[in-house]
């Protein structure tokens, strides 16, 4: 199964209302078959976050100053659901992407260009961020 097919299958199983969430992070690359899925990061409206919290998703808070997030596993992949995002250097505008997402196969995604900008502006780039930046650049070059 391709990364795209795997991600779309996970999104289908989650049955989230498409006007209340947007996929960001590695899922934006996976839906284009740029790389495999590590985990799936989803930004949701606060009301949906509260609903999922009551449905048994596990709440986590890795850093005391960051907002909490919910976690659940689907098809052995970790799904992370956020209602807020803390960035000390750049705000990715996730609330804007909830209103104006890029729709792929009926599901809302942060546009690839925005993910690239976000990853290049992170104050601390992890190895996976550097890898994703290179993969996005290679993907863009292959399209031109």
Domain ranges of the chain: 3-143
* Dihedral (CA of 77, 83, 85, 86) sign: negative
Structure tokens at 11: 């999104």
Reply yes or no on whether the pLDDT at 4 is more than 70.
Answer: yes
Beta bridge partners, 81, equal 42, 70
* Per-residue confidence (pLDDT) for residue 93, from 0 to 100: 67
Cα end-to-end span (Å), the chain: 27
* Per-residue confidence (pLDDT) for residue 64, from 0 to 100: 82
Reply yes or no on whether the pLDDT at 97 is more than 90.
Answer: no
3-143 domain in CATH 3.30.460? yes
Query: pLDDT tens digits, residue range 22-65?
Result: 999 999 999 999 999 999 999 999 999 999 999 999 999 888 87
- Chain centroid to CA 14: 14
Sequence-ordered list of residues with C-beta below 8 angstroms from that of 108, at least 6 positions apart, any chain: 18, 19, 21, 22, 23, 97, 98, 101, 102
Reply yes or no on whether the pLDDT at 89 is more than 60.
Answer: no
Average per-residue pLDDT in the chain?
A: 90
Angle at 76 between CA 69 and CA 103, to 5 degrees: 65
* Per-residue confidence (pLDDT) for residue 31, from 0 to 100: 97
- pLDDT-based confidence at residue 86 (cuts at 50, 70, 90): low
How far apart (Å, rounded) are the C-alpha atoms in residues 10 and 107?
Answer: 11
């Amino acid at each position: 199964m391709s990364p795209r097919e795997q991600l779309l299958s996970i999104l289908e199983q989650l049955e989230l209302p498409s006007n209340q969430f947007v996929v960001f992070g590695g899922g934006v690359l996976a839906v284009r078959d740029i790389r495999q899925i590590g985990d799936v990061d989803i930004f949701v409206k606060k009301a949906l976050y509260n609903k999922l919290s009551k449905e048994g998703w596990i709440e986590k808070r890795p850093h005391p100053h960051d907002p909490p997030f919910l976690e659940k596993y689907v098809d052995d992949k970790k799904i992370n659901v956020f209602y807020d995002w803390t960035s000390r250097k750049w705000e990715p505008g996730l609330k804007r992407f909830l209103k104006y997402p890029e729709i792929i196969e009926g599901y809302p995604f942060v546009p690839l260009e925005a993910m690239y900008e976000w990853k290049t502006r992170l104050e601390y780039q992890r190895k996976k961020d550097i890898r994703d930046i290179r993969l996005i650049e290679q993907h863009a070059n292959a399209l031109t």
